[in-house]
Structures are given as C-alpha cells and as structure tokens.
Amino acid sequence: MLALRLARGSRPLVQLRRLLVAGACAGTGFLLLYVLAGAVDRPAGSFPRLVWALVPLAVTVQFAVAVAKADPATRPREGMDAVGLGPVRLALAAALSTALSCTLGSALALAAFLHLRGELTGLPFDGAGARLLHAGQPLPVAGALTLLALVPLTAAAATALALRPRTPQPPQTGLPWGVALTACGLAVEAYTGPGGLGMAAGWALTAAGLGCAGPGLAYACGTLLQALRPGALRLLAGRALQEEAPGIGRPLGVLCAVGAGALTVSALRAAGGGPAPLGPLSGAAAALVVLCAAATLLTSAVDVRQARAATRAALLDLGTAGGLLRSAAVLRASALLAVCVPFSWGVAELTSLALTR
C-alpha cells in the first residue's frame, strides 16, 4: 500500500520515467514471448536465442534501477525512522514500486503479443504478425507467465540491492576487475568464434567488465582534466567529474559496451555477415538496448546534477559566474566523449579481431 501511495503521489517527471520503464519492460517481455514461441515451433537452437534475449532484459533492469534511485521518494530524510520508514523500508517500497511498473509493462506485452497472434480480436495486419509470432503453435501458459514474471522480479530484486544501506567504495576499485572481465570476454569470443552461445557469453563478460570499469574511467577523466597546472575552469570540472563518477560510471560503461557492440556488428556485416540471433526482431532488440542504455545514463546524470544542487547554489552564493559553471559542465561532457568514443572503438576493434581471426 505504501509503494502504491508513493507511486500515485509522485511528480509528473517521475511518473513519466515510470511509464518509460513500463514501455521498456513491454518491449523486453514481447521479445521473451517471441523467443518462447520460436522455441515451441523450432526447439533446436532455442537456448542461444533465449540467452541473447537476456541482453535487453539486463539493460531494462538497469534502467528501472536508475529510475528508482532518481525517485525523490526513495531518499532517506530526517525523522523518517521515527515513523518506521528507515533506509531498508524505503528500499523495499522502491522495489515494490518498480515491480508495479514492470508488471504493467509485462501485461501490455502479453496483450500485444496475443493480439498480433490473433487470439483476442482477430488477425491484424493481414496475418503478418501471426506468421512472425508462430500463431500455428500453442503458447505454453506456464512458460509465458514465467518469462513475463522474470522482468518484474529481477528489477525489484536489483532495486532492493541497489538501494540497500552500504559503505561507498572508491570508484577506482572497480577498474582492475573491469579490465579483467573485459579480457576474459575477449578471450571467450576468440575461442568460440562468431555465433552461438559462446559469443553471447563473451559479449556479456565484456559488457560487465566495461560496466565495472566505468566509474574508474570517469574518475580518470576528472584526474586528466586537473593535470598540468589547471585553471579554475579545469579544476572545477575535474573535481565535479570525480564526484559524479560513482553515479554515472556504470551507465557510462554499459553505454560504451553497447557502442562497441554496434561497431562490432557493423564490422562483421561488412566482412560478410553479422549475427542476427533473434531473427526478424534483432533490429528491434538492438534499438531497445541502445535506448535503455542511453536513458539510463541520462537519468543518472540528472540524478547526480540534482544531488549537487546544494554545491552549485553555494558556488553561486560565493560569486561564481553562472557561465563558468556551464562551461565546466560542457568541459566534463567533452572530456567523457573524448575518452569514451576512442575507448569503445578500441574494444570494438579487439572484439572484431577476436571473432574474425
């Protein structure tokens, strides 16, 4: 009941974010149902398709967690412990609110899937959707409900873990682990080659490694901005980027992984054919992954900016020019682009070399 009241009483921007989460969950649920229908029609080789469908699930869960962390209702306030709303209760309420949004998306996915199969109100689009979704085969009810419940349950569990009280770690600590995971992913891809389950496992390790390395990478960008006798502008931008690294680092790393994956697929197709693990819906799945990764980074950046609102107000009270603060923000974004774009290109080149050797 508390989670429902928090969801109803939120501001319009928060409600819009939750609707976007529901839309992302609807797309992911539709892809999972599509894989299930394909597995019923052609059981051979269905497991690698299911593994590839978990990629949109992972970025959707990450987006849902970012939206939950940016919700002002989930932040501890003074006096909330007295009414029984400590950090743990707030984390559970945020998890339930996330599960509610994701459940709405899963229900929309099921309704759209059944409608396109012609099982609700006839066949739309002259039966094209029915052929694509294997309407000739019965859809297992238990399997469909299990896959649809996977999105809300995973998102709720991830939200509870992300918002639990814990001691913050320096962003540099994840950089060695990220490099190690990325190297393991490249090794797996080089051993298994393109296609199949091995490529999916290798790309998952690479993406996890880049996500772990993201905070350290952002912190390193802030350090570089302050190198070699910095002025006020570079010093302000570098310190701010170092403070923002824990918040935007992981989404930035995942977005780098998505960019590297897109460049790798383009290189493989130019060399004679890239992977299409989800068949005709591979393009839609890729678009969903890109949009969720970009939305996660944008949501995290807005959340970090709101968290530093007091610092910004204090600098303005001290007489800092607003143009200087805006220039510092542009410099931070430029530094991240200058480092992350070549970094993603390098990972894509190494991945392409590992898959085409």
Q: pLDDT-derived band of residue 167, with 50, 70 and 90 as boundaries?
A: confident
Best mean pLDDT range from 47-51, 95-99, 316-320: 95-99
Asked whether residue 201 falls in the same domain as residue 159, the answer is no
Q: Which of 60-69, 152-161, 227-236, 244-253 has the least mean pLDDT?
A: 227-236
Q: Judge if 61 and 13 occupy the same domain.
A: yes
- Check whether 131 has a pLDDT greater than 90: no
Q: Each residue of 334-343: pLDDT tens digit?
A: 999 999 999 9
The number of distinct structural domains making up the chain is 2
Show the beta-strand stretches assigned E in 52-209.
none
Structure tokens at 318: 């001290």
Contact in structure between 23 and 109 (CB atoms under 8 Å): no
pLDDT > 90? residue 93: no
The residue-averaged pLDDT of 76-98 equals 72
Q: What is the mean pLDDT of residues 209-236?
A: 90
Quick one: average pLDDT of 85-92? 76
Looking at the fold, whether 9 and 123 belong to one and the same domain comes out as yes
Residue 153: the pLDDT is: 95
User: Same structural domain for residues 257 and 284?
Assistant: yes
Range of the domain at 118: 1-166
Residue 357 tokens read as 């050797």
pLDDT at 76: 63
Mean pLDDT on 188-202: 80
Average pLDDT over all residues of the chain: 85
Measured distance CA(20)–CA(102) in Å, rounded:
10
Please tell me the least confidently modeled range out of 60-64, 239-243, 263-267, 337-341.
263-267
Distance CA 319, CA 323 (A): 12
Which of 148, 166, 184 is the C-terminal boundary of a domain? 166
